[in-house]
Amino acid sequence: MPEVKVPELAESITEGTIAEWLKQVGDSVDKGEAILELETDKVNVEVVSEEAGVLQETLANEGDTVEVGQAVAVVGEGSGNASNSNEDTSSQQSTEASSTGEAASTSDEAPKTEQNDSTDSTDSTQRVNATPSARKYAREKGVNLNDVAAKSNDVVRKEDVNQQQNGAAASNNKPAESSKKQETPAPAAQKPSKPVKREKMSRRKKTASKKLLEVSNNTAMLTTFNEIDMTNVMNLRKRKKEQFIKDHDGTKLGFMSFFTKAAVAALKKYPEVNAEIDGDDMITKEYYDIGVAVSTDDGLLVPFVRDCDKKNFAEIEAEIANLAVKARDKKLGLDDMVNGSFTITNGGIFGSMMSTPIINGSQAAILGMHSIITRPIAIDAETIENRPMMYIALSYDHRIIDGKEAVGFLKTIKDLIENPEDLLLES
């Protein structure tokens, strides 16, 4: 029978975790239809069947780690659905019961009670949250799923059934003396003094934590700061935003396009910031794929806006909005998440006044934006005015970037944002 295998994902991704089975054993499957959702280090990917038929068997459970090329399911010929099959069986049993009703009424009460108990047990077993392979294994071994304790996420798996069966067999083989000793109640296990919630980390969160730790341990990371007077760019945006929306089919003019174009100009001036270390080599990237951090329910994702040096403000704003929607709808592809050159993160949307962002992957630096806060600023020796100010931060790998380049990079960003007409010339 045709096997469904984990497809090639990306050059750097060799495995994933089964997040959810979209089809169950017995379900009809069309060619090209998704049967499971696979969680990778970067995005979730749907695995599809190359054949039409019926899902005969699942070879892995939700939460299992599977490798590229590994078979995860078997699709056989036929059509229909497991639920339809069950309904047919129930209908047949009902018909048989009707035809033998007279004989049943004259039979002893004991067999009737036994039958009812069996039915109740079967119905109760069906309510247990278990994987298809666990149900099949339990039927083969005669194990009641109600007696099986789930070890992971309240879902009974095949290994749980096996452990229950082995435990029951060992208990039956113990001598009576041993059984009497067990009657002595054991001391109760110590419980937490305060309520806690324990849950398994998602694959993406585990991968992110691992990579962040690697960056922290394997780079000489420093952070330098500057502040920007946002008065001029805010006034420009206020004057032009309505016309911008009309001219560009509803695309809004935000601050991210200004900072993206300013970052491109600064990267051209300080190419070390657009580099990375590969062994004993330093690779300086001559393209400008800028990552924009997006917050989702599953954590922070960083899709990339490609070729920002060749895009205008409207194209950058539209692409950022599109990537944000895809991220929140879990529609990002692997191509959206790899091979970026520099990253911008905006903690200001959550109210952050200042932070030290962590470098993204193998990149050399990351720019952090923060809240715009009105503060009193000395204009000259005699004048103080309230101005909308933003702190910006550049975290960088000191192995590649010297302090002079880091400070110069931020100064370039500051000058361009404070004088947005110069930013148009740089573009």
Query: Catalytic residue positions?
Result: 398, 402
Q: Three-state DSSP class for 224?
A: strand
Contacts within 8 Å (CB) and 24+ apart, 206-213: 207/41, 208/299, 208/300, 211/361, 212/358
Residue pair 62/18 in contact by the 8 Å Cβ criterion: yes
Strands 275-278 and 221-229: unpaired
User: Which residues touch 52 (CB under 8 Å, ≥6 apart)?
Assistant: 29, 30, 31, 75
Tokens of 146: 């109600």
By DSSP bridging, strand 342-346 and strand 290-292 are parallel
8 A C-beta contact, residue 284 and residue 272: yes
| 264: enclosing H helix or E strand | helix 255-269
CA gap 253, 423 in Å, rounded: 15
3-state secondary structure of 424: helix
Residue with tokens 């920002």: 308
CB atoms near residue 247 (< 10 Å): 11
Euclidean distance between CA atoms 164 and 141, whole angstroms: 11
Q: What are phi and psi of 71, to 5 degrees?
A: -75, 130
Task: Find out whether 69 and 45 touch, Cβ atoms under 8 Å.
Answer: no
